[in-house]
Structure 1
């Protein structure tokens, strides 16, 4: 039976983009482990949607992230590197396994120490207030363009240097961000060759930055990675993969979550009122916003190293598998009233940042930036609401990230 026959929106259709949860809920209840054609990628993907199954799969050693290790007899492994010039972009943290993963993660984690995140929080609060200063007199703003994007892109982008100056001199961070979004927002008809062209430009921009950092200490995280490369601790390809992981991956996912968190609050005004009246709930609120509709719909693809039986279904070796976070985080077997936003939800063991060795390295930073964004808005402006009907909010296509293109609001400034 197809999804269409079940009278819910087809995966990746316009109705699914507007509200993916009915489709995911139906899959979880009827086909919790199912193989589905993935549009635009010429492959089929196994979707795992129940909380118990997703949680178990995250720590199951029979799943891997590096498909090149599957063996020469596996068709999936033989197609891993279409362009030898782009091999480095497949060595990101979320695309390798141990022991390589642990070694690289240990090095990258130096940029996410509690001291560094606290320093970035101070920078983020000052910058968020500056962003609000620019729109507060207007009584309206786009929470995506005026807050979520610049806050994420410039603070996380600051890990490769300082904030851009007023003349915009220096590294073309905006272009890197645009290219990263094109990779995570598939457009119908985009060919593999066009995706490779995007990746080549990302590589050129990143190599330019690396050369600027050679032989100098800029005091930022990326300069430390360049120095590690110069000491022979990481290869050139690994260095290139790090900047792609930190900047292209981190900026867009965090901006997506901030924007989606605001959408969740705006479409649940009673919970927004609770948070305004009880700011001490902020930590719990961020966790619930992650569970309810975090920016990541599913984890990046995993691959079966051997035959795996999960949820009563056998997945053969060498298959592509998606752990669907949106479905798992609304599983009624795990969460009471899962489709209800409850900012004071107890025992919120969501999977929004994954689990196991590949859990999100930047989760503390993502939580911090989202907290700063929400607190700054609540401190600086009064009542705010969507400037358009909720069903007119346009969402970016794709199944990995979920984020609105724009989120216009009107508000009253606090005196």
Structure 2
């Protein structure tokens, strides 16, 4: 790899986790296609908006991580294939086949029909919080909200929600405990194994006794059309479970922090709640939960900004850097809920554009809107620089804890 002007060590510090945007600005300005060595794997980071959008649709940058070179071993670890060999890590026509089977469940009309149930879940969670005048908002609200919604959509029994949530949180918070790296890897691998075993058994149970849920619908599609293998059913269920709550939970946490640290924008939203749908888009652009798009592999030598990316290289498209590109957005580092900035890359771009975008928007709109209405005088429970975040090496940008206070 050629030398990067920004030492890789800067990308994996507490300071970077707290505020990566100055580093992203340096990447865009000094080396917009930057080779970086990470604790998990080496990659090239693409950080300018136009390059990012092109890369997200570049057929030479493959999403198929499960070919003969077994790139997934470098990225996800030795036990990951049972959970990660899904449409997120596939190219057309395989990706097209898998996505088509799931897409009907996420059609906008069907998602809007879920509004009453999402509203009920939001209010049930807040009912437990309101009397106390304080809460740990990630644990009490941001994480359980999308987890309950996607679990019900998939058909995971209510009695299993806590177990499943426990496994997913071990995976989500990897690297944040005081355990040794070896202990951390062992804990993640055990959680992956337990979750794979559980989902395999759940698919088998749904096959024996179908219900009105998404897993049963996928099984029916498999049986009628012969288009989903048994392993694909399990990995697709994992993708929908994990992607269906992880990024939404992190986004709600990030959005609340952004609003509480920009009181003029919070006041604006409280006075003009009709701004909420567009505010969701601006908050996602401003501090999205997925800083770097899921990995791509160069199937041949490619060139961006005069930099040669050799065949076989892992490529990361830095969505949060692209969404702050001053060549594309005016005053991108300013949170402005009134400004119509046009499309951002928070949900990706191209054929891998987020399948659950309608559900994520619905949960964020109802969740954040109801939260602000029902928790008056909402404020952070600790100074912003004391918030505990996911480690910088995590693929997600989010909070481990979000203590808040409000008028009970």
Greater Cα offset, 138-147 or 283-292? 138-147
Q: After superposition, where does 1:125-164 map in structure 2 within 5 Å?
A: 125-161=119-155, 164=158
State the match for 1:224 in structure 2. 217
Q: Is the 8 A contact 1:9 1:22 kept in 2?
A: no
C-alpha deviation, 1:383, in angstroms: 1.7
Separation in 2, partners of 1:220, 1:113:
15
Q: Is the 8 A contact 1:93 1:104 kept in 2?
A: yes
TM-score, normalised by the number of residues in structure 1:
0.90
In structure 1, stretches of 5+ residues that fail to align are none
Q: Is the 8 A contact 2:173 2:400 kept in 1?
A: no
State the match for 2:116 in structure 1. 122
C-alpha deviation, 1:337, in angstroms: 0.7
C-alpha deviation, 1:339, in angstroms: 0.6
Aligned: 1:311 with 2:309: no
Separation in 2, partners of 1:361, 1:224:
17
TM-score, normalised by the number of residues in structure 2:
0.91
RMSD of aligned residue pairs (Cα, Å): 2.3
Separation in 2, partners of 1:12, 1:300:
18
DSSP-derived class of the 1:382 partner = coil
Change beyond 3 A, Cα 1:163–1:258:
farther
Aligned: 1:181 with 2:175: no
Separation in 2, partners of 1:174, 1:98:
36
State the match for 2:390 in structure 1. 396
State the match for 2:29 in structure 1. 29
In structure 2, stretches of 5+ residues that fail to align are none
Separation in 1, partners of 2:5, 2:10:
6
DSSP-derived class of the 1:124 partner = helix
C-alpha deviation, 1:81, in angstroms: 9.8
| Post-superposition CA distance 1:328-371 (Å, at most 9, x none) | 00011111111100011223321000000111100111111011
> Which residue, 231, 237, 241 being the options, matches 2:235?
241
State the match for 2:54 in structure 1. 56
Separation in 1, partners of 2:76, 2:142:
34
> Which residue, 59, 64, 67 being the options, matches 2:65?
67
Separation in 1, partners of 2:354, 2:58:
17
Q: After superposition, where does 1:196-211 map in structure 2 within 5 Å?
A: 196-211=189-204
Aligned: 1:342 with 2:336: yes
Separation in 1, partners of 2:11, 2:123:
39
Change beyond 3 A, Cα 1:61–1:162:
closer
Separation in 2, partners of 1:18, 1:68:
33
> Which residue, 390, 408, 412 being the options, matches 2:403?
408
